[in-house]
Amino acid sequence: MSSAYFRLIRPHWTIASTLAATAGIFQAWSEGYSRPWLAAVVIAAAFTSHAFMEVWDEIKDFQHYRNEFPAESSDPLTLFSGGSGVLTGRRLRMESVRRFFWTLLVVYAVLLGVIISQVGWRFLLCVAVGFFFLFGYNAVVKLSYNGLGELANFVAFGPVLVCSAYLALRLGSGADVTDTGSWNLVASLDLQVVAVSVVLGVIWFGSLHVQEMLDLEEDAAGGKRTLVVRYGREYAARVPWVTAIVVVGLLCGLAVDRPLYLVALPAAILHAVETFRFMRRWRDHTYFMRKMSDFFVYRNFVLIGSSMLLATALLPTPPGVDPVDRWLLVACAVVSFLPAAFWLSGNGVFRWRRHPQEPERIDAP
């Protein structure tokens, strides 16, 4: 039973949120804004919000599938059947899934309350923007059905998470003497943290295009007007290559002020080379399915993001910050990565396979 709940939150995707939040926290630490216990709460909130968003999408996709495509529960999984297979496989009943969703929501509310008590009500602006893109992806405004799903993922898993975590630590540390209490939180962001958020966001933007190449027919049949449905696989194969070049350029720009960002450059170059090969060979079905099984863009997202965290962690300890804080933040990052790392490694995402089997279906968040 517990494994069904674990599968329900699709742990292979949670690192997208925790890595982005941790990147913002490390940026705040490098500028002298550090409270490890608050950082742990922010990471836990990012993880929990991602988890209940996945459960929400599972419920909505299952309902859409049953309403629009009536079928027996033994039918094969499709885009609208709930990608984890928990509902269609009758591992959990809908009532249990709903209770789990509300439990996660309550946990998130408690964590958010702790953050607000330290940061102030202004932080609700970050929460509102994040909820708009996370819940608007498959429900409410249905951004993914209107050709805005890819943009929503770029914003949610890049600028929103990175900058929100950064602001939580900056405003909650009590060390920002320039804070006037203004609700204009954008004014508290510097160019560097924005650049870091864009790096993570554009990788995710490219990753979603690759996944949607596999889902094109199902998305089109379900009325999901993704950019890949609108412009085709030729377009989709080129987007990750363009974003890979953008990432290399942004990392070089970041390295001008902080040369340690060159630590992430090898992973970014590997990503660019691998993506270029994919762009040229995606029509080969065997090759395409192998790359989908490897899920190379997401793997490279993790490698580049982790390298950027390492680059920031290697910076000298800022004045007035306890040197122990660095290692406490590293410990928080490692713990938050464990659910996704366990799942991804168990499915061979970080292992080279010369003759892979047909890949297990992994749905986009």
Q: From first to last of its 365 residues, what are the pLDDT tens digits of the chain?
A: 577 888 788 887 888 889 999 999 999 999 999 899 999 999 999 999 988 888 887 777 666 655 444 444 444 444 334 456 676 666 678 888 888 889 999 999 999 999 999 998 999 999 999 888 877 776 667 777 787 888 888 888 899 999 999 999 999 887 776 777 788 888 888 889 999 999 999 998 988 888 888 878 877 877 778 888 888 888 988 999 999 999 999 999 999 989 999 999 999 999 999 999 988 888 888 888 888 777 788 888 889 999 999 999 999 999 888 999 999 999 999 998 888 777 766 665 555 554 444 444 444 44
Tokens representing residue 312 in the block: 């920031």
**Which residues lie closer than 8 Å to 166 by C-beta, 6 or more apart?**
24, 25, 27, 28, 189, 193
Q: What is the pLDDT of residue 195?
A: 93
Supply the DSSP symbol for 39: H
Q: Given CA atoms 138, 140, 141, 145 in this order, what sign does their dihedral have?
A: positive
- Please state, in angstroms and rounded to a whole number, the distance separating the CA atoms of residues 251 and 265: 7
- Please state, in angstroms and rounded to a whole number, the distance separating the CA atoms of residues 204 and 186: 22
Q: What is the pLDDT of residue 63?
A: 66
Orientation angle between helical segments 227-257 and 191-214, nearest 10 degrees: 150
* CA nearest neighbour of 299 among 6, 12, 18, 11: 12
Tokens representing residue 293 in the block: 């099984």
User: Tokens 């027919």 belong to which residue?
Assistant: 217
User: Tokens 């194969």 belong to which residue?
Assistant: 237
* CA nearest neighbour of 208 among 152, 269, 265: 152
How many CB atoms lie under 10 A from the CB of residue 324? Answer: 11
CA 65 to the chain's CA centroid: 25
How many CB atoms lie under 10 A from the CB of residue 197? Answer: 27
- Please state, in angstroms and rounded to a whole number, the distance separating the CA atoms of residues 268 and 265: 5
- Please state, in angstroms and rounded to a whole number, the distance separating the CA atoms of residues 210 and 282: 10
pTM: 0.85
Residues 153 and 130 sit within 8 Å (Cβ to Cβ): no
- Please state, in angstroms and rounded to a whole number, the distance separating the CA atoms of residues 20 and 170: 16
Q: What is the pLDDT of residue 90?
A: 66
Give the H/E segment covering residue 221. helix 216-221
Q: What is the pLDDT of residue 41?
A: 95
Q: What is the pLDDT of residue 84?
A: 62
Q: Given CA atoms 12, 205, 101, 116 in this order, what sign does their dihedral have?
A: positive
**Which residues lie closer than 8 Å to 138 by C-beta, 6 or more apart?**
56, 57, 60, 61, 144
